[in-house]
């Protein structure tokens, strides 16, 4: 398989090389990275062998090159990244092989763009909502234990097990549980003081890292002190969310996180900026049949990035925008989907001419 350094050493295989991302969007601000995207073609021998590859990227993944076959395949799916790359403003095209002039974005635009651009926008909203939840409902630094999800039936309701143990002056290590027949995750609870034969209960859990309660043998004739429920499903959901939260905390972009905290809106403003960029581009495709990468709505988009809108207000704007875009696409003369045969013919033509010339 060809690596990124090897591709850079064989520049004759690069068909398109562009500066992309915030620079191409006209949305670059202090601290913005410089991203690059492009298209390459596999060496002919590699094409005929087993080692085909769809894309090549550098270690930081901010430079990505798509193989021409994968590029055209994604183009037929109206992939936003591919349509943007093909429509890169001239000043940000570092190199373009003459064969790439055979591929024109307007020949492939279709009503699929409603799904793809709006779908990408929904992904950005999900990310922004996820950060909103993480900031407004941060999890404890210490993970809760099984005991925090156990409750004792009392009167017509229930009390947390830990509160019940404290009230009784008991520790969980001196308690024992047995199953209560026909009730899922419900147990009869006993205490060491009830034993007179020198035996011991095992405790409700085996230790702080336990992921379930444990049962103890109980001599016949001993009455239970309480009925206890372990909310096992709730504990499982909490553990998954806790792992996700800790992974996010470890991997989060600290600069963007601090920016989010500084504007005080508790959502990832950059995600929301791209949400509206994608929705606006989707609308422009239906209205003008072109992909406008350079954003003339820069001021509005940067206002979003700077946290000048409340999250709920943005959500309302998204709903209104989506309703308007759906109407535009219903009236649009765009085809339902791109012409797959045209794309395949182009791929064959480009490969033939490139390999013949090399």
What are the pLDDT digits (tens) for 302-331? 999 888 888 889 889 998 999 999 999 999
State the pLDDT confidence band at 157, using cuts at 50, 70 and 90: very high
- CB atoms closer than 10 angstroms to residue 110: 20
pLDDT value for 243 = 85
What is d(CA 116, CA 218) in angstroms, rounded to the nearest whole number? 61
Is pLDDT above 50 for 32?
yes
Residues 338 and 112 sit within 8 Å (Cβ to Cβ): yes
pLDDT value for 138 = 60
What is d(CA 318, CA 120) in angstroms, rounded to the nearest whole number? 13
What is d(CA 344, CA 72) in angstroms, rounded to the nearest whole number? 8
Residues counted in the chain: 358
C-alpha distances (whole Å) from 283 to each of 77, 233, 278, 322, 327 are 17, 43, 9, 9, 10
Q: Which long-range contacts (CB under 8 A, 24 or more apart) does 333-337 make?
A: 334/109, 334/110, 334/111, 334/113, 334/285, 334/286, 334/289, 335/110, 335/111, 336/110, 336/111, 336/112, 337/76, 337/78, 337/110, 337/111, 337/112
Three-class SS of 16-35: EEEEEHHHHHCCCCCCCCCE
Pick among 3.30.70, 3.30.460, 1.10.3680, 2.40.50: CATH of 1-108+338-358: 3.30.460
pLDDT value for 298 = 97
For strands 63-67 and 35-40, give the pairing. Answer: parallel
Cβ-proximal residues to 23 (8 Å cutoff; 6+ apart), any chain: 32, 34, 35, 92
Q: Domain boundaries in the chain?
A: 1-108+338-358, 111-138+253-334, 146-232
Higher pLDDT among residues 334 and 262, named by residue: 334
Is pLDDT above 80 for 144?
yes
Q: Which long-range contacts (CB under 8 A, 24 or more apart) does 296-301 make?
A: 296/26, 298/26, 298/27, 300/276, 301/27, 301/273, 301/276, 301/277
Q: What is the pTM of this model?
A: 0.66
pLDDT value for 67 = 98
State the pLDDT confidence band at 106, using cuts at 50, 70 and 90: very high
Is pLDDT above 70 for 181?
yes
pLDDT value for 24 = 96
User: pLDDT by residue (tens digit) across 279-293?
Assistant: 999 999 999 999 999
State the pLDDT confidence band at 217, using cuts at 50, 70 and 90: very high
User: Across-strand partners of 179?
Assistant: 187
Is pLDDT above 60 for 253?
no
H/E element, 178: strand 175-179
User: pLDDT by residue (tens digit) across 36-55?
Assistant: 999 999 999 998 888 889 99
Chain mean pLDDT for the chain: 90
Residues 201 and 195 sit within 8 Å (Cβ to Cβ): yes
Is pLDDT above 70 for 252?
no
Give the CA-trace dihedral at 68, 69, 71, 77, to 10 degrees: 160
What is d(CA 63, CA 79) in angstroms, rounded to the nearest whole number? 18
């Amino acid at each position: 398989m060809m690596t990124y350094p090897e591709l850079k050493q064989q520049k004759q295989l690069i068909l398109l090389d562009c500066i992309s991302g915030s620079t191409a969007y006209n949305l670059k601000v202090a601290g913005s990275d410089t991203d690059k995207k492009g298209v390459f073609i596999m060496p002919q021998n590699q094409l005929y062998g087993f080692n085909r590859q769809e894309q090549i990227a550098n270690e930081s993944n901010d430079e990505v090159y798509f193989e021409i076959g994968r590029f055209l395949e994604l183009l037929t799916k109206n992939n936003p990244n591919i349509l943007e790359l093909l429509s890169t403003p001239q000043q940000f095209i570092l190199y373009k092989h003459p064969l790439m002039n055979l591929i024109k974005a307007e020949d492939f635009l279709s009503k699929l763009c409603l799904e793809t651009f709006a779908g990408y926008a929904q992904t950005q909203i999900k990310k922004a909502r996820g950060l909103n939840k993480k900031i407004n409902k941060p999890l404890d630094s210490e993970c809760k234990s099984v005991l925090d999800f156990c409750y004792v039936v009392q009167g017509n309701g229930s009390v947390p097990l830990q509160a019940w143990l404290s009230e009784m002056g008991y520790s969980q290590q001196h308690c024992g549980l047995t199953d209560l027949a026909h009730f899922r995750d419900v147990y009869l609870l006993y205490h060491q003081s009830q034993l007179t034969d020198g035996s011991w209960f095992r405790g409700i859990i085996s230790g702080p890292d336990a992921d379930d309660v444990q049962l103890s043998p109980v001599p016949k004739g001993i009455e239970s002190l309480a009925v206890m429920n372990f909310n096992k499903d709730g504990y499982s959901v909490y553990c998954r969310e806790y792992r996700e939260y800790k992974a996010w905390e470890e991997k989060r972009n600290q600069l963007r996180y601090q920016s989010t905290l500084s504007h005080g809106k508790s959502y990832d403003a950059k995600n929301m900026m791209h949400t509206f960029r994608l929705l606006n581009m989707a609308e422009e495709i239906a209205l003008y049949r072109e992909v406008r990468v350079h954003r003339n709505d820069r001021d509005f988009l940067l206002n979003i990035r700077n946290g000048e809108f409340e999250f709920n207000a943005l959500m309302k704007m998204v709903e209104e925008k989506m309703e308007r875009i759906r109407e535009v696409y219903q009236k649009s003369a765009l085809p339902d989907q791109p012409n797959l045969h045209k794309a395949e013919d182009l791929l064959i033509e480009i490969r033939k001419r490139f390999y013949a010339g090399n």
